[in-house]
A and B are shown apart, each in its own frame.
Chain A
């Protein structure tokens, strides 16, 4: 005890042991969980056509998670359904099953929380709240839930006396008013709508206390609302562009871009195969003209994305894949990749694509760009 160095060393050790166990131990145990199918084949493999869970949130919802965090909603709301031995959460209807570690692996912000002044929100996306209700609630919970102490966020809305485009009717102090959600409010609501653990995993099945018939009904319900969700989260014009973009991104048949085969459903690419990520990429979020050029003619050579170097080549989609993409399709898929996986940037219009195509119509369609060329030739945006 009398030698400060020895003493410091011992008390350092006391911490280090606990840290090693909890961090290194736990990381080894479940740090490399991956999305998986609801149930595995007999040999433990994943069926090739199986849907994988958990699914990544939409880009809008991921941004919503950040807003939710920054407003401190987690001081009152947890996001964990406790196991049935440890709590009453399933009984209370807060989830169809307890949460497991795998449910959270794709979330940037894991907000388990440990105070429940408000109800648990793990599955708030499964409750039958309309998009409007969630906005009304976010704006002023007291106006629709009497006696609520959920914190109002009127600063996220513009208020009007008359109905206008994209406004939602609600009441404030007993008076009818109309509110227009800001981008931030839309993000939060998209996030809330995306909160759902409505799938089973090999390690956890739905709790038995839940009626089977209920479950089927609810499952179809949620599927419907899931497709609706992405619509309602964006303004209509953007939503349709996003939908079609997503389609092109994923489609392997003519009319599709097959992007998914290389850049993966997560937008994270594949480092070992030399495929750069699209999520968070400057190339995607930055200068539009440059992005359009890459899309039309393709790209080859060394490229640095998110601080990592990749070498490879990608054909332009202006040239024949299965069938070339037209201006509309390119603008849709670019809009989509600029707003998915946490990306958020302005949309790309067909006119912009047409303008670039026109400007470089002399360039052979098969001549891919190199990064050197693109940098030498800084485009004006």
Chain B
């Protein structure tokens, strides 16, 4: 009996889920290509230099936006839709609206990115897309998240569990963040560096309060459900959740240390960043002490392997992040390419890896078709290797960069010369990651949009099952 209701739910989610994850895949490829171009331009600035649209600054910015809003946004919609529906045991309604709003979302991003290429970039972090597209993005987001929250409201069980908190909170945080940032940046802009505080606050919080909680929610969902055992020390989870909610919005401004803003701003940021060790420790304990009780299952079930890679990288790199926010260290590395380490670890090493895992977990249930093991393994190993190479290069490169920059006697080009080898490593790593993601997306599409005959076939199979 229970089984059929799950199938009903999957069936109701199928259309919207497929739409979102298929678009997410396309954005992922676009972002991978752009990441490669940007990395290549750092090693050879003359690469594609004569076209204005390929200038490094623009490519870099649209890469981040395509990644966060295109891949991040769409995959957040897809996985939260499914997880919330499953946990609430209710059907998804309004798939047409979801798909319509999703189309608007994707078109708005596309226009936004072309707007940036055309020279209409705004100067706020992750709000660089031109003003005109934001209303469309915002409204389509509200429609999508509303429809997901309706499912949550109609849940069969009134008590909620960790994955629900994180995902629902992320869905609500984004529009709040946007309204706050927009009001202070565009509607009633403050003068001078006031806007810089807000811009960094928004840009960092998008990662901390939108991508991060969704990924954490996915991990809280998949680990116990696959291993069939409760989360170890689950009572800590609620503490971890509220810690993130309470600390993250304050901690992000530590990036302004020493800058032309009131001293208390970065000071609060630093204190709060250090306090972030608590939620990180909680999540880490919850995930890893559960997972390591049955490590062979984790290893053998590929979706879980992806997720645990993500949570491990979250733990390790977040601790590294805390260390780098200490003023004594920040003095050296605050503006070095360590920032690339933080960004890439969060969006690739943590968020994307978990999303990959969860998608591999959901796909067969929704479509009844599997992606070949060889392809999945290829994807896992190349991603893992690529991410590792990028993070290591940016970490060591960032330290080198920071330490050398401090020597007043060194010409700046000399400093940069010593960082160049690391740029080269990242360039190759982005090629590997690009191929890895190409394999992922091709297979994803093949499973989602099989040839028409196969489709009827599997439909028939499902009916008889």
Q: Show the binding face of A for B, using Cβ within 8 Å.
A: 1-2, 4, 7-8, 10-12, 14-19, 21-23, 26-27, 29-31, 33, 69-76, 78, 80, 82-83, 85-88, 91-93, 98-105, 107, 109-119, 141-142, 145-155
Contact = CB atoms under 8 A, between A and B. Distances in A.
A99 B123 CA distance: 19
Q: For B49, B149, B169, B335, which residue has the most chain A Cβ atoms within 10 angstroms?
A: B335
Contact of B172 (A8, A119, A141): A8
B257 A86 contact: yes
Which 7 A-B pairs have CB atoms at the shortest separation, nearest pair first? Answer: A72-B57, A86-B258, A82-B258, A18-B249, A104-B192, A116-B335, A99-B260
Interface in B211-254: 238, 245-246, 249-250, 253
Contact of B173 (A15, A21, A70, A92): A15
Nearest to A4: B153
B169 A110 contact: no
B260 A72 contact: no
A276 B160 CA distance: 59
A101 B198 CA distance: 14
Interface residues of B, number: 81
Given A4-B152, A72-B60, A110-B193, A153 B55 contact: yes
A107 B195 CA distance: 11
A17 B330 CA distance: 26
B169 A31 contact: no
Contacts of A30: 192, 194, 262
Given A73-B57, A100-B260, A149-B416, 4 more contacts: A76-B56, A88-B408, A146-B413, A149-B45
B304 interface: no
B192 A114 contact: no
A145 B413 contact: yes
B260 A101 contact: yes
Contacts of A92: 405-406, 408
For A70, A91, A109, the residue with the greatest tally of chain B CB atoms inside 10 Å of its CB is A70
Contact of A116 (B55, B268, B405): B405
A82 B258 CA distance: 5
A95 to B, nearest CB: 11
A16 B250 CA distance: 11
B373 interface: no
A72 B192 contact: no
Contacts of B51: 155
B270 to A, nearest CB: 10
A30 B265 CA distance: 12
Contacts of A155: 50-52
B84 to A, nearest CB: 11
Nearest to A24: B184
A1 B238 contact: yes
A150 B45 contact: yes
Nearest to B213: A11
Given A101-B262, A145-B413, A75 B60 contact: yes
B191 A148 contact: no
B412 A119 contact: yes
29 contacts: A2-B160, A4-B149, A4-B168, A8-B172, A10-B245, A15-B173, A17-B249, A22-B253, A23-B184, A26-B262, A30-B192, A71-B52, A71-B55, A72-B56, A75-B60, A82-B257, A82-B334, A86-B258, A86-B334, A87-B258, A88-B408, A99-B259, A114-B255, A115-B337, A116-B336, A151-B55, A151-B57, A153-B55, A154-B50
A84 to B, nearest CB: 9
B121 A69 contact: yes
B61 interface: yes
Contacts of B340: 115
A87 B49 contact: no
B1 interface: no
A87 B339 contact: no
A104 B195 CA distance: 11
Contacts of B209: 15
B417 A72 contact: no
Interface string B147-188: 001001100001110000100110011001100100010000
B46 interface: yes
Interface in B327-358: 327, 330-331, 334-337, 339-340
B236 to A, nearest CB: 15
Nearest to B164: A1
A118 B60 CA distance: 15
A53 to B, nearest CB: 14
B89 interface: no
Contacts of B238: 1
A7 B168 contact: yes
A23 B200 CA distance: 12
Contacts of B261: 26, 101
B335 A11 contact: no
A64 to B, nearest CB: 13
B305 interface: no
Contacts of A88: 331, 405-406, 408
B313 interface: no
B106 to A, nearest CB: 23
